[in-house]
Amino acid sequence: MGVLERVRKMVQLYKGMKPPKEEPVKAFILISMRLGKKERKREIDIARELSKIEFVKKAWVVAGEWDIILYVETEMSVISDFVLKKLREIAEIEKTETIFIFEEF
């Protein structure tokens, strides 16, 4: 199964989730992909699919050490499940880093 198909299944899993019971946690999830030069266009497709998940508020394809950045707002348990059990299962994802927002001004 290709990476896009796995991402589409993940989107379906998170569609229609109930609103958080507590104040949502805000975080940036940085994603580094393991794709060859010919596959680089797929980052855009992957980011577009991930942006369809309700708690993913923004998705960017970027240059540098990271390939995709997601801005998410949801419960901590949902972020944990999403990163540890879903994103990290995708072979093309080399690594992730989650940055939690404590204060906003």
Give the containing element (helix H, strand E) for 2.
none
What is the rounded distance in angstroms from the CA atom of residue 44 to the CA atom of residue 37? 13
The pLDDT tens digits for 12-61 are: 877 776 666 777 899 999 999 987 766 666 888 889 999 999 999 999 99
pTM of the model: 0.81
- CATH 3.30.70 fits domain 21-55+76-105: yes
The pLDDT tens digits for 68-97 are: 999 999 999 999 999 998 898 888 889 999
What is the rounded distance in angstroms from the CA atom of residue 7 to the CA atom of residue 46? 7
Give the SS3 label for residue 35: coil
List the domain boundaries for the chain. Answer: 21-55+76-105
What is the rounded distance in angstroms from the CA atom of residue 11 to the CA atom of residue 80? 16
